[in-house]
Amino acid sequence: MNPSTKQLKWFNSEHAHSALAALDEKSLPQHIAIIMDGNGRWAKRQGKPRLFGHKAGVASVREMIASCVELDIPYLTIYSFSSENWSRPEDEVSGIMKLFVEVLTREIVNLNAQNVRVKLIGDIDALPEKTRLAFAECVQSTAANTGLTLVVALNYGARQDIVSAVKAITSEVHEGDLSSDDVTSELISSRLSTSGIPDPDFMIRTSGETRLSNFLLYETAYTELYFTDTLWPDFNRDALLDALLSFQDRNRRYGGL
């Protein structure tokens, strides 16, 4: 059985119909992670400021959410703002934080309508108050939803997340609640901010860059990687289907033969 046998109204182009016919429903990833790169370069090509590209990229986020909902993919994680992004120009960072508030205020109704639950990973406390409160409201408002889980990585850095996990475990060992023999990969995973979220099966990075940029380093040990030259604002539902076709052709051996 493939997704083309369903009534998938969201995928309505000829390209999508062809891709869906070749897509095996059983081969779809359960968790897609995306590094949404290229907003600034996209804006520059339009002769616009970088923030214009970030605003355009919101449409691609909507496309990915709706696509994952339609394909019954349980988890989607998006790298919205890294812990290193604070080094960008102040006006760009300020504009992004305000954009988060605008988008969240506008999209909560749509997220609930699509049965999407929002979760956050990263150092949320370091965000500006209005941004932090807007995300908190979104998480609370969608908490009871049972469809797609949208994980937003916000002020997130994988190395810092691992450091925090190690500190927590070290403290528990020091207090006598754990012994060093209790420390396993599963225990470390349980102390990461992604605890309770399955590791990504598939990671997509747009814009032609071929690195992980401190994103989910522990969780992606056996994740299939997909790099595309397409800039994030141009990455749409058809581009996602092309990526999924690539994924289903992979032979995932997890270190075995």
- Which positions are annotated as active-site residues? 37, 85
Quick one: how far is CA 248 from the chain centroid?
19
Question: 230 and 239 in contact (C-beta within 8 Å)?
Answer: yes
Question: 43 and 218 in contact (C-beta within 8 Å)?
Answer: no
DSSP code, position 150? E
What 3-state class would DSSP assign to 205? Answer: strand
For residue 68, which of 254, 210, 201, 226 has the smallest C-alpha distance?
A: 201
Q: Which two tokens stand for residue 225?
A: 């990687």
**Full DSSP string of 141-154:** HHTT--S-EEEEEE
Question: 16 and 238 in contact (C-beta within 8 Å)?
Answer: yes
Place of tokens 């940029």: 213
What 3-state class would DSSP assign to 156? Answer: strand
Place of tokens 């040990």: 221
